[in-house]
Amino acid sequence: MRPFTRSIIELFDGKRRYLIPLYQRQYAWKVTPQLELLWEDIERAARKLESSGQLSAPHFMGAIVISQIKTYGRQVQAYEVIDGQQRLTTFQLLLAAFRDVATSLSAEYSAEITKYLFNDGVMENSDVEKFKLWPSLTDRRSFISLINPDGEYAQSIPLPDDEQGVVRPAVAAHSFFRECILAHVLVKGEFDPFRMEKLFEALRQGLAVVSIELEGGDDAQTIFETLNSRGVDLTASDLMRNFIFQRAKGLGQTDGSLNVDKLYADYWLPLDSWFWREGDTRGRQTKTRLDWLLVDHLAMMRADIISVDHLFESYRKWILEGQPFTSIEDELKAIKRSADVHRLISEQSDQNALGRFGRFARAFDVSTAMPLVLYLATSEEFEGEMLDEALLCIESYIVRRDICGLPTGNYNRFFVDAVAKMRGGKTEPLSRLRRILSASQADAMRWPNDVDWKAAWLGRDQYKGNRQARLRHIFETIEHSKRADASELVAIKSDLTIEHIMPQKWGQNWPVSGFENVPAGELNIDKMARELQREQSINKMGNLTLLTHKLNATISNGAFSVKLPAVRAHAALTLNRELHDYTEWSEQTIRQRGESLFQTASKIWRRPMSKEEMEALDALPEVAADKVDEMAT
């Protein structure tokens, strides 16, 4: 490698182009702190020149790493930017802002700056090659519009659908610099030519970078990682993207753009949209959706637990040591398949099985199951209704364990192990999945059978503050099932809430019957036993329902004659219309309704395979294994 110290102006002097590979992260410098700190450095140098006429030394702005690209014929000499695109883009925006201010105040500086923004003379494709800097596709439209505001080329560049109306960082940066430059050269509203002159000198002399030009034997990816390993806000997905595309090198350029850009545009460009850059929280960690996708993808591919904090190192080691793909394109195709599945899960649409599973996973906070879900959804074995059934198996496993209060601490290991076992088996795939989920009898992993599940459904308190989302999902699913049975699939648009039928504060308006003549304050063992029995029934499943809006506190805690009509008034829900069957509400009716709900729930969330069914599956030839699944149904 060959290092050179250059000023900002020298970087763009002469006929040359800097090409930002599409796989590099988008322009991301913000006004605070990056642009403000840069402007402070520039203004400090300008004021030094104003006061003393000279600078002791330029301010060092770090290093940029570039690699020369072979050019032919009339093509302008081009360099691929390995590292430093944030600085290069910022410097170009700064120069454009200086030019725009000078256009109306001091035309000679405007003309001078222009030659550091554009190439001129002979070139193969002037629409593209005239620009000193050619940014990645996501930044190209906004950048070109600022550098060449009178041109028409920028309008031909497509704008991503999810960025309509979004103010790009490049636009914000240009606006910031323009305001700063104006404030500097205007003194009490009057233009000061001396300040303009010294500001221009500060750009020529006051800021410097080390330009590192790579040679044939240099490892661009290693250099990139070394320069960005400390103190730079690069996500794991940023490092992975560069690692993948740096290995697709030597493809040259066509029509002024790098050929590797086509791989990026075909496979990674959708992953650089705002959707994937939004934060998502799992447990106590918040990362971008893209980082979580790549964690789940790698966990699925390796059938192992992957830490988000060591995602890049784990991926790099897997690729270099295992060489699991025959080409970079195959590697990118695998990521894209997982991304397509992940997006459907994240969008939580009722119109497809993955969206419905996404709603369930969000309610039950079981992102740990995602590696197995990715495997099923990207496998050719599971298509159409079979994928629906497979996802319902996973949901049944989790819902039954949740109702039984079984621990979730081993889910990470359990679901990635299930991926490995699915890959290794040769029986009918749905039966194989149910066999894997049904195998363990230990509380840490078992899938509760109907006996255990019913005991927990009727006997355990299910209503707790942190379980509202889970209970809402369970009751919504039961409601949907009841509507399907009645051929009445009407969408409920309201946000549904969980409500106790007999209120938690039942003491005043819901007294236990048979003790009306017991004087207040008198100790009565039978009455106390009945009150304890009632208290123990309040948070059971049979005493809960869904409402399309919350009842006010007076009605919610009101007597049976007040509350039941109010609840029944939510007639849009089958769950509440059925309450007309009850003329009283007590511990007995709570249990009776709980048993009725259980009958519906047990049809939705299926039981595991029995020991006998698993033995039968193991004994059957592969072609007949699906008969075991019919037995279980």
Q: Which residue has the higher pLDDT, 467 or 137?
A: 467
Q: Which residue has the higher pLDDT, 242 or 144?
A: 144
- Give the CA count within 13 Å in the CB-facing half-sphere of 377: 31
pLDDT on residue 201: 93
Q: pLDDT confidence of 434, banded at 50, 70, 90?
A: very high
* Residue 231 confidence (pLDDT) above 70: no
- pLDDT more than 70, % of the chain: 87
* Residue 319 confidence (pLDDT) above 80: yes
* Residue 327 confidence (pLDDT) above 70: yes
SS3 378: helix
**Dist. CA 335–CA 297, nearest whole Å:** 7
Task: Map tokens 């992260």 to a residue.
Answer: 25
Q: What is the DSSP string of 194-252?
A: HHHHHHHHIIIIIEEEEEEEE-TT--HHHHHHHHTSSS----HHHHHHHHHHHTS----
Query: What tens digit of pLDDT does each residue of 113-134 get?
Result: 999 999 999 999 998 999 999 9
Q: Which residues of 407-416 are buried (b: 16+ CB within 10 A; e: fewer)?
A: eeebbbebbb
* Residue 100 confidence (pLDDT) above 90: yes
Average pLDDT value for the chain: 86
Mean pLDDT of 193-222: 82
Question: Which residues contact residue 174 at a Cβ distance below 8 angstroms, ignoring those fewer than 6 apart?
Answer: 93, 96, 97, 146
* Residue 555 confidence (pLDDT) above 80: no
* Residue 187 confidence (pLDDT) above 80: yes
Q: pLDDT confidence of 230, banded at 50, 70, 90?
A: very low
pLDDT on residue 631: 47
pLDDT on residue 23: 66
Cis amide leading into 503 (omega within 30): no
pLDDT on residue 485: 59
Q: Which residue has the higher pLDDT, 97 or 204?
A: 97
* Residue 269 confidence (pLDDT) above 70: yes
Mean pLDDT of 77-93: 91
**Dist. CA 313–CA 321, nearest whole Å:** 12
pLDDT on residue 384: 84
* Residue 162 confidence (pLDDT) above 60: no
pLDDT on residue 512: 79
Question: Which residues contact residue 274 at a Cβ distance below 8 angstroms, ignoring those fewer than 6 apart?
Answer: 162, 163, 166
Lowest-confidence region among 45-54, 525-534, 561-570: 561-570
Most confident of 60-74, 245-259, 374-388: 374-388
**Dist. CA 474–CA 601, nearest whole Å:** 8
Mean pLDDT of 240-268: 78
- Give the strand pairing for 59-69 and 78-83: antiparallel
Distance from CA of residue 428 to its chain's centroid?
A: 33
Question: 404, 462 in Cβ contact below 8 A?
Answer: no
* Residue 513 confidence (pLDDT) above 90: no
- Give the strand pairing for 285-288 and 279-282: antiparallel
* Residue 258 confidence (pLDDT) above 50: yes
Lowest-confidence region among 100-109, 243-252, 346-355: 243-252
Q: Which residues of 325-336 are buried (b: 16+ CB within 10 A; e: fewer)?
A: eeebeebbebbb
Token pair, residue 514, equals 């048979």
> What is the Cα gyration radius of the chain?
33
